Chains A and B, each alone.
Chain A
């Protein structure tokens, strides 16, 4: 078979795939008689209302000297790890707002960090294409540098996101600029499986984010620059379980809905979307109205009930709180007192949902808690 013949066949196949995809989209549109917001407003639901003091900044974590890029909470709810461009990981006690560890990284260009489920170690990754794991119990040497306890190297592009598999300290999933996600065995430092890449049907551009389902730890979602999100099963790495189309820009962030059957995405096209993993349908688009220019979504998080969606945007210090049911913005954290002074780059809820932490390019992290009677939404 000659090269030209192969090329021809490839072109034909691509065409077919595109046709099928288009038909699928058409079909989905036909089936889509309503979305969440329309349905619930028809049911007479009203949006959550926020008073001025319902969500207040109760702690400011100062100590980084560069942009904060990533943060993660421990499951036992009072500690936070943050990664910043000053080349440090800082572990905070969220209650006292003090640091407990400051880890100087060998490579300052860090993009992501994660707490292990038992809270004993932290992982981080960045432009060095390596996911490094630091044990918090190891003692620092004279210069105050904590030794790397494990290097997970094997990615051929920057490590954009990492997350521990819930309740498994030995397993970690990373996403990377080399278009793959990798499940690692932390104890051995070896790859358990690779999702996507050359010989498999995976993402066709940089993978920017992963989120592991809380209800079924075998499932995880990845979001990518090919403007799709994909659902994977860690037991079957060969191909994605499902691919979710819909976004018109890079999918910067994905996050599982608390029930584990839905997930949210945030994208460069300025929208957040809610997808159902069982039907593959897009349930809702969250698009701020007005002023044409779409500001990319940098990071999202759901409240424990899933009623609220917190989304950080790339412009100024905008951070909208969406009512997921009605698709309306109910609060802008950027306009609340004590808000950040620069882009909010990452956010996350504590495990019990009582507090939200936001990290910003103004080098601070802030913890927001519900000030009103309503404790947790």
Chain B
């Protein structure tokens, strides 16, 4: 890690107890190792099954299950309805709660349900009981919802489909006074609450018998190892009735909650499901993962919704239902070749050209070479895109074959063998085949291709008969692409949202934030600037150059006046003889004088500039005046003025870069190069915000560094550059950046002798801004990276102008070795100044926040320098992420770290 080394070096420059920091940087390598030290072992995976007591089937053959069996047997005991032994704790609390229920029920409309209730409540093995207590909490919220929605229940008589404000209000007004009488007499607030809660909650255990069995079945079927927490619906109504109004029968049309299986009739569904931010879910189920058995119905709209809502609304609901994050297939439930997938792997799988169809939680095997895909223990089901880096290596018995014939290391099934034989492949002698994605096969250890499996026309037909997959060339190219654009884009979209790390780039104007931003754009974007952007930039650059010219001309006038004045006084002093006419003309000429034509142009330019509409007349003017500019630039007077440019205060330092090429730049067919853009001022508007999404391109050295880094390609960063204006204490928009990962504060080091318009030192202004930003409450827990920019300018300037010119840097007295330059071991004055400033800023930072500041130097005009600074930012982000992981999981091991951080 070269970056870390650099940082460490910087740290070592500091004084007094800073050695703690150095220790801290030993942290990251450690933490990198720890996650990858966990080899995911096939043998170990069954152990994970301990977590899911419910779905372990009886034929479990692993030797680990002693504790589970106990639970399982308990569960089985419960399953027998009447033989409940009231010994276990679970039982006790269950029955006591049930007693409570029967106490509080005064009028229960469904007596025959009560017995059923008991069954269900007890048959759930502990988990359900837990859930029930959660759901009571949930219900407290939902109760209020019921409360004010009660209008609709009565509303439905009049017009159930179109709830309207009027009807709503009128009903409300009728409804409220009456309902208030019961519970809201302020004295018995809690009392009323309690009553309500009891009535509502504990009756709610009654779950559909069918539903429960179904769940049991599906669990057994799928053998999910990580069982999602399943929410149980609550109803007090009859079987088959609406879960909210308790009306209707099994046959009335109903909408089902994707999470908890609650069913609502058409008049209740909008109330029970609210605005459906994640599709058809009860309000209380929002945020929960959906019931996997309902995955197939995602995005498929029922007729009822279509009737209730208009097209646009239905479309929005279905869209969010399919693409919202909570409804995506959880990666850890999908096992490929015995390994649970990482989210990134799942995305790779879903977004490949030819993704597996109907991906559900469960075990799959995947032959990476040929692209064969199937369920664990079964014959191949589909041929998907090959060479995807998902899951572990394929095991020989993945498809549970017993034919002794192997394809790519997998023992194939009988059906496959038959297919191979019929396709004319020699299978005698139990060969081991190596099959490529195009169907070409060869025997293991041999080089020559023996043939193509799919070569014969009959093979495909045969496969259809044997229900074996065939490669789908056509779909791979056309519909696969389409699929990618429509479906996967959205999947990527929400994923991107999650993995996007935001970096906020701030700094005073002139600190070089925009150059860093442009540099990043050029560095990380394939097409940094679009055609029309370049066109805009061209106009900006040309306008700038006219501006610079104007400044030069202004300077010329001043110099001319000065020169004349000097000469006049000289003349006056030396001789009093009045000059004659002819003399006067030549006499008034100085080096800075220009011809009348150019003079007119110069006057015009200065006038437009003064009026402030220089930008308005471009680019029309550039065509007209380009030849004049050439003449002007070649004029001796301008050249003479240009030589004295350091005296022109307004002329920015980059002006010379453009002025020297003014003739090229001002031609109409000029095309700005990347370097020109980098130098140009005002390309990224100083008032607006600019943001850039990028990911760091992987270098070869990084790739072989750590296999887990592969997923990093998905890690995306967003660099946000905000205008410095108004970034003070009372900034109105700063809390929009609460979610950024880190703040990069840019300081121009060469500012130390610059003075702003109101006479304060620019470095002091920067310090003030820095202080106000680091102490802003929303950045309280944020990491800061200080980029000390314009190191090149500093190096050059510090030799001429002492750093002590800025009052903040008064105590800078470096020990300068006399043999500077000759001895490479000694730091240069520039380096010393940089370290001094870094320490100054660090002191400010730690005294105000108690944290430590990361510092980097950069030359924003050099790509490598910006690249390394931004990479450092990335490292810090990664590190801070891991730091939280470490703190959570192995706090004790790293207990020394927080203390070193508090420095």
Contacts and interface: CB of A to CB of B under 8 A. Distances in A.
B163 A62 contact: no
Contacts of B489: 142-143
B329 to A, nearest CB: 20
A354 B313 contact: no
Contact of A99 (B172, B316, B485): B316
B495 interface: no
Interface in A64-79: 67, 69, 77-78
B180 interface: yes
B490 interface: yes
B309 A98 contact: yes
A62 B726 contact: no
Interface string B141-180: 0001101110100000000001111001100110011011
A98 B317 contact: yes
A111 B309 CA distance: 30
B511 interface: no
Contact of B316 (A57, A58, A101, A142): A101
B504 to A, nearest CB: 11
A127 B490 contact: no
Nearest to A110: B736
A160 B732 contact: yes
B602 interface: no
B317 to A, nearest CB: 7
Given A96-B309, A127-B733, A58 B725 contact: no
Given A127-B722, A268-B730, A369-B169, A95 B689 contact: no
Interface stretch (A40-48, A151-159, A280-288): A151-159
A56 B726 CA distance: 39
Interface residues of A, number: 60
Contacts of A58: 148-149, 151, 168, 172
Nearest to B690: A128
Given A62-B277, A93-B313, A97-B275, A155 B687 contact: yes
A130 interface: yes
Contacts of B163: 95-96
Nearest to A156: B687
Query: Which applies to chain B's interface (DSSP): helix, strand, loop or mixed?
Result: helix
Contact of A97 (B274, B725, B730, B733): B274
Contacts of B173: 371-373, 375
Contact of A102 (B316, B689, B739): B316
Contact of B726 (A130, A144, A206, A373): A206
B778 to A, nearest CB: 12
Contacts of A160: 732
Nearest to A374: B173
A95 B723 CA distance: 40
Nearest to A107: B689
Interface string A124-143: 00011110000000000011
A63 B685 CA distance: 33
A60 B172 contact: no
A176 to B, nearest CB: 9
A109 B485 CA distance: 26
Contact of A127 (B179, B309, B688): B688
Interface in B293-345: 308-310, 312-313, 316-317, 319-320
Nearest to B323: A144
B142 to A, nearest CB: 11
Nearest to A376: B169
Contacts of A225: 730, 732
Contacts of A257: none
A127 to B, nearest CB: 4
Nearest to A104: B493
A326 B93 CA distance: 55
A337 B144 CA distance: 7
Given A100-B313, A127-B736, A338-B144, A62 B176 contact: no
Contact of A338 (B145, B286, B688): B145
A178 B723 CA distance: 12
A92 B179 CA distance: 30
Interface residues of B, number: 54
B101 interface: no
A369 B151 CA distance: 13
Interface string A86-127: 000000110111111110000111010000000000000001
B123 to A, nearest CB: 34
B176 A157 contact: no
Contacts of A337: 144, 147-148
A355 B169 CA distance: 10
A95 B176 contact: no
B276 interface: yes
A376 B277 CA distance: 30
A333 interface: no
Contacts of A130: 688
Contacts of B180: 51-53
A208 interface: yes
B736 A100 contact: no
B184 interface: yes
Given A56-B148, A354-B169, A369-B172, A62 B736 contact: no
B486 interface: yes
B592 to A, nearest CB: 24
Contact of A60 (B147, B165, B176, B274): B274
Q: Which of B176, B177, B286 has the most CB of A within 10 A?
A: B176
A305 to B, nearest CB: 17
Nearest to A51: B180
Contacts of A308: none
A208 B732 contact: yes
B270 interface: yes
Contacts of B164: 95
B787 to A, nearest CB: 22
B165 A369 contact: yes
A144 B490 contact: yes
A240 B561 CA distance: 43
Ranked 4 nearest A-B pairs via Cβ: A98-B313, A129-B688, A62-B277, A127-B689
20 contacts: A56-B172, A58-B148, A60-B274, A61-B275, A62-B276, A67-B736, A93-B313, A96-B163, A97-B275, A98-B317, A99-B275, A102-B319, A127-B689, A142-B489, A156-B687, A158-B733, A225-B730, A370-B172, A372-B173, A375-B173
Given A98-B309, A371-B176, 17 more contacts: A51-B180, A62-B286, A77-B165, A92-B275, A95-B163, A97-B270, A98-B276, A99-B317, A100-B310, A143-B485, A177-B726, A178-B687, A337-B148, A338-B145, A338-B148, A371-B173, A372-B173
